[in-house]
Structure 1
Amino acid sequence: MASCTTVGVTPVAGPTFSYWRKDGGHLENFRSTSDLPRVQDIVIIGSGLTGAACAYYISQTAGSSSIPTTTVLEAREVCSGATGRNGGHLRPEALASFSKFSETLGLDSANEIALFEVANAEAVKELVQTEGIDCDYTQVESANVYLDGSLASAAKSQIGELARSGYDIVGKIQFHENPHEAEDVTGVLGAKAAATFPAASIWPYKLAVHLLKIAMSKGVQLQTHTPAQCISSTPNDNGYWVISTPRGDMMAKTVIFATNGYTPNLLPEYAGTIIPVRGICSHIQAVNTSNPAPVISETIKTMGIKHSPGCQDYLITRPDGSIVVGGAWKAVRPGPRDDWYNVIDDSQLIPAAVNYYDGFMQRTFATWENEPSEVDYLWTGIMGV
Structure 2
Amino acid sequence: MGTVLSALAGIGSSARMLLTPILDFAKAYERAAFSPGSPVSIPTTPYWTRDPPYPDLVKHQSAELPREVDVAIIGSGISGAAVAHSLLHSSKGSSVEKMVVLEARDICSGATARNGVYPRLAKHVGKDRAIALTRFQRKHLDLLLELCNTTGIDAAEAREVETVDLFLDSASFADAVKGVKETEPMLPEEEMKIWEREEAQKKFGTGPSVYGAVSYRAGALWPYRFVTTIWHRLLTQYHDILAIETHTPVESISTEDPEAPRGYPYALRTTRGTVYARNVVHATNGFASHLVPGLRRKITPAKAHMSAQKPGNLFPEQHGPHRSWSVIYGDGFDYVTQRPPEHGESRQSQGDLMLGGGFVCTLNRGIDMLAVSDDGAPLDGMTLAHISGVLPAAFSPNWGVGGGLRQAWSGILGFTRDMLPLVGRLDKTVTGRAPSDVNGGEWIVAGFAGEGMVWSWLSGMALGIIVSGRENSDLDAAPGRPAGRLADWFPHELYASKDRMKSADLSNLPSHL
Q: Aligning the two structures, in what range does the TM-score lie when normalised by the shorter sequence?
A: 0.7 to 0.9
Higher mean C-alpha deviation, range 316-325 or range 142-151: 142-151
For residue 99 of structure 2, what is the aligned residue in structure 1?
Answer: 70
From 257, 276, 281, the counterpart of 2:282: 257
Contact 1:143 1:194 in 2 (8 A): yes
Alpha-carbon offset, residue 70 of structure 1:
0.7
Which residue is 2:393 aligned to? 363
Aligned to 2:181: 160
C-alpha deviation, 1:324, in angstroms: 0.5
Task: Give the TM-score normalised by structure 1.
Answer: 0.86
Return the TM-score normalized by structure 2: 0.65
What is the deviation of 1:57? 2.1
Q: Deviations over 1:56-101 (max 9, x none)?
A: 2222126988643111111000112xxx1425x5x4x4xx1x2222
How far, CA to CA, are the matches of 1:299 and 1:27 in structure 2?
28
1:170–1:129: structure 2 CA closer, same or farther, 3 Å change rule? closer
1:312 positional shift: 1.1
Q: Does 1:228 align with 2:254?
A: no
* Higher helix content, 1 or 2: 2
2:224 is the alignment partner of 1:214: no
Pair 1:368–1:335, CA change in 2 (3 A): same
Does the 8 Å CA contact 1:159/1:170 hold for their aligned counterparts? no
Partner residue of 1:112 out of 129, 132, 141 = 132
Q: Distance in 2 between matches of 1:197 and 1:234?
A: 53
Aligned counterpart, 1:3: none
Query: Is 1:341 matched up with 2:387?
Result: no
Q: What is the CA distance between 1:313 and its match in structure 2?
A: 1.0
Mark the CA change 1:369 to 1:249 in structure 2 (over 3 Å): closer, same or farther: same
Alpha-carbon distance in structure 2 between the residues aligned to 1:49 and 1:173: 29
Per the alignment, do residues 374 and 192 of structure 1 end up closer, same or farther by CA in structure 2, a change over 3 Å counting?
Answer: closer
CA 1:275–1:8 in 2, change beyond 3 Å: closer, same or farther? closer
Give unmatched runs, 5+ long, in structure 1: 1-5
Q: Aligned-pair RMSD on alpha carbons?
A: 2.6
Greater Rg over alpha carbons, structure: 2
Verify: 1:15 aligned to 2:43, yes or no.
Answer: yes
Partner AA of 2:217 in structure 1: P
Partner of 2:348: none
Of 61, 72, 86, 2:90 maps to 61
Q: Which residue, 272, 275, 283 being the options, matches 1:247?
A: 272
Check conservation: 2:36, 2:287, Cα contact below 8 A. Answer: no
* Pairwise CA distance, 1:16: 0.4
Counterpart residue identity of residue 137, structure 2: E
What's 1:313 paired with? 334
Q: 1:64 to 1:21 in 2, by over 3 A?
A: farther
Give the direction of change, closer, same or farther, for the CA distance of 1:72–1:109 in structure 2 (3 Å limit). same
* Residue equivalent to 2:302: 277
Counterpart-to-counterpart distance in 1, 2:94 and 2:299: 37
Q: Show CA shifts across 1:254-278 (max 9, x none).
A: 1111101001111111111111010
- 8 Å contact kept, 2:190–2:216: no
Aligned mate of 2:205, from 184, 187, 192: 187
For 1:137, which of 155, 158, 168 is the aligned residue?
158
- Number of corresponding residues: 362
Q: Tell me the distance in 2 between the aligned counterparts of 1:208 and 1:11.
A: 19
Alpha-carbon distance in 2 for matches of 1:345, 1:266 = 17
Alignment of 1:279-294 (within 5 A): 279-286=304-311, 294=316
Contact 1:185 1:297 in 2 (8 A): no
Deviations 1:33-53, CA, capped at 9 Å, x for gaps = 122101000010001111112
Q: Deviations over 1:259-314 (max 9, x none)?
A: 010011111111111110100011012587xxx975474897211110111x1111
CA 1:103–1:42: 2 relative to 1, 3 Å: same
- Uncovered stretches (5+) of structure 2, i.e. residues with no partner: 1-33, 342-350, 416-513
Q: Is the 8 A contact 2:252 2:268 kept in 1?
A: yes
Q: How many angstroms does 1:119 deviate by? A: 1.2
Q: Report the counterpart of residue 102 of structure 1 in structure 2.
A: 122
Match of residue 222, structure 2, among 165, 181, 203? 203
Matched residue SS, 2:268: strand
What fraction of aligned residue pairs are identical, expressed as a percent?
26
Q: 1:333 to 1:68 in 2, by over 3 A?
A: farther
Residue in 2 that maps onto 1:351:
381
Q: What is the rounded CA distance, in whole Å, between the counterparts of 1:183 and 1:299 in structure 2?
A: 20
Q: Does 134-143 or 50-59 show the bigger shift?
A: 50-59
In structure 2, the residue corresponding to 1:110 is in which secondary structure?
Answer: helix
Taking the aligned partners of 1:185 and 1:299, their CA distance within structure 2 comes to: 17
Q: Residue 79 of structure 2 aligns with which residue?
A: 50
For residue 361 of structure 2, give the secondary structure of its aligned residue in structure 1: helix
Residue 261 of structure 1 aligns to a residue whose secondary structure is helix
Verify the 8 A CA contact 2:320 2:339 in the aligned structure 1.
no
Aligned equivalents of 1:327 and 1:298: distance in 2? Answer: 20
Letter in 1 for 2:180: I
Q: Which residue is equivalent to 2:423?
A: none
**Structure 2 counterpart of 1:272, which letter?**
R
Letter in 1 for 2:199: E
Structure 1 residue 14, shift from structure 2 partner? 0.9
Among 55, 66, 72, which residue is 1:37 paired with? 66
Is residue 321–residue 339 contact of structure 2 (8 Å, CA) maintained in 1?
Answer: no
Distance 2:284 2:269 in 1: 16
Q: Match of 1:131, as an amino acid?
A: T
Equivalent residue, structure 1, for 2:112: 86
Taking a change above 3 Å as real, the CA distance of residues 29 and 293 of structure 1, as seen in their structure-2 partners, is farther
- Aligned mates of 2:317, 2:36 — CA distance in 1: 46
Does the C-alpha gap of structure 1 residues 230 and 183 become closer, same or farther in structure 2, counting only changes over 3 Å?
farther
Structure 2 partner of 1:381:
411
| 8 Å CA contact retained: 2:165, 2:328 | yes
Amino acid in the other structure paired with 1:194: A
* Residues 225 and 239 of structure 1, relative CA distance in 2, 3 Å threshold: closer
Change over 3 Å in CA distance of 1:334–1:251 after alignment to 2: same
Q: Deviations over 1:305-346 (max 9, x none)?
A: 10111x1111001111210001023522645733x1111100
